[in-house]
Amino acid sequence: MATNTDKGIRNKVIYQIFTRNYKDGTFRAVEEDLGRIRALGVDIVYFLPIQPSGTVHRKGTSGSPYAIKDYRAVDQTFGTMEDFIRLTEAIHAAGMQVMLDVVYNHTSPDSWLAENHPEWFFRKEDGSFGNRIGDWWDVIDLDYTNKGLWEYQIETLKMWARYVDGFRCDVAPLVPLEFWKQARTEVETVRPGCLWLAESVEPEFITGCRKMGIPVLSDGELYQAFDICYDYDIYHDMADVLYGERGLSEYLNSVNRQEAIYPDNYSKLRCLENHDRPRAAAMIPDEKALRNWTAWIYFVKGTTMIYAGEEYCAKHHPTLFDPDPVEFDADKDISDFMVKLGEIRKNPIFAHSSFHAEAIGRNKEVIFAVHEAEAGEPVSAQKAVGIFSVTGLAQALKIDLPDGTYTDAITGKMVDVFEKTVACDGEPVILLL
């Protein structure tokens, strides 16, 4: 584990933005919306790549943001570099931090690096540029056996670190661990406490790469250089529950296993949706069930992330390849609900605890989860209990709590437990004890 990773990152809420699809697609549009974003309880604003996309092998009319042409420039359709710097300053002034996407496994075929340093790229058997993952046909892979590439990439990170507070690193497992460790050390000289988020990958991706002889890092390795890893090691377990293809207990067993296999100060990125996954409101059409799953994502150990538009229950998933504005005028608005969950999330118990979850109820469709404070930690609650009816159904539940009357931290309503039985009305409940 990165030795200076602070468990306090588990109290943070990240808000993900793709500038091209945010209102009119400019940095200024984001800047004008910062008051609303901050009021949502956001701590970190995370931007998908803001650099220009290449034109060779371009997907769609605008190209993927992950097919970067120049690491040290900004897409002029978003605004100028000065506009972006002003935006970062406004985010800081609003009390939030900035995280920038880093795409270091590959570039567009017509990138500045491909034109000026072709020796730094992976070559196919015929000597031409290429990539190792076949369906990424709009990019070409870099070759990190070249130390000159390391120097250039780290200097680029240090350039951006003058303005941003952290990096989300795209397909981080395909870039050598020693590079990430060196980058973390050197960036620290420019931005002390820089936050590092790894887009770690699914187990099937790891085994598939290794079968093809492609070096790839596991989550356990990534934690040596990163503070947070995606929860893609268990994402499909959760998705299978949402699609009715797997029982809730199987998913929760996977969550519990993370407590044992990762370092003590690990943090997983918890989200229902992102730019690569379906919209939560599309996967969970029942409003009560959606509130329960949303509350669960704020409750489970890790760092919470929401994707722009999720607060309005947007169902349309914006494409990465064409202008496709986020639905900010959807019929539903759960912003106030998220604000309350974010306030609860700030309690130190969520940063300094052991965690366990189980499926309870008639059909094992209710999550009963508990954070218990670690010995000696300065917390205001010794225990946080969550009850989440992920199908939204009401039922009586047997729970492991002493008889008494408790206060739901979400609504302020009283919750009675008698003979270890509680009446669940199908809405999420969080108790701070």
Angle at 47 between CA 223 and CA 348, to 5 degrees: 55
**pLDDT tens per residue across all 433 residues of the chain:** 567 899 999 999 999 999 999 999 999 999 999 999 999 999 999 999 999 999 999 999 999 999 999 999 999 999 999 999 999 999 999 999 999 999 999 999 999 999 999 999 999 999 999 999 877 899 999 999 999 999 999 999 999 999 999 999 999 999 999 999 999 999 999 999 999 999 999 999 999 999 999 999 999 999 999 999 999 999 999 999 999 999 999 999 999 999 999 999 999 999 999 999 999 999 999 999 999 999 999 999 999 999 999 999 999 999 999 999 998 877 799 999 999 999 999 999 999 999 999 999 999 999 999 999 988 777 788 999 999 999 999 999 999 999 999 999 999 999 999 999 999 999 999 999 9
Both structure tokens of 357: 């979850």
State the Cα–Cα distance between residues 305 and 110, nearest whole angstrom.
Answer: 33
24: exposed, middle or buried (Cβ count in 10 Å: 0-12, 13-18, 19+): exposed
pLDDT of the residue at 136: 86
Q: Which residues contact 150 (CB under 8 A, 6 or more apart)?
A: 144, 179, 182
Q: What is the pLDDT of residue 123?
A: 94
- Give pTM, 2 decimals: 0.97
Cross-strand partners of 110: none
Strand partners, 270: 304
- For residues 191 and 384, what is the distance between their CA atoms, to the nearest angstrom? 34
**Sequence-ordered alpha helix ranges (H) in 7-52:** 27-32, 34-39
pLDDT for res 380: 80
pLDDT of amino acid 246: 93
Structure tokens at 152: 């250039």
The answer to whether 43 and 13 are in contact (CB under 8 A) is yes
Euclidean distance between CA atoms 68 and 49, whole angstroms: 8
Supply 323's token pair: 């202008």
- State the Cα–Cα distance between residues 352 and 384, nearest whole angstrom: 11
Structure confidence at residue 402 (pLDDT): 95
Residue 329 confidence (pLDDT): 78
**pLDDT value, residue 331:** 73
Task: Write out the two tokens for 92.
Answer: 């800081």
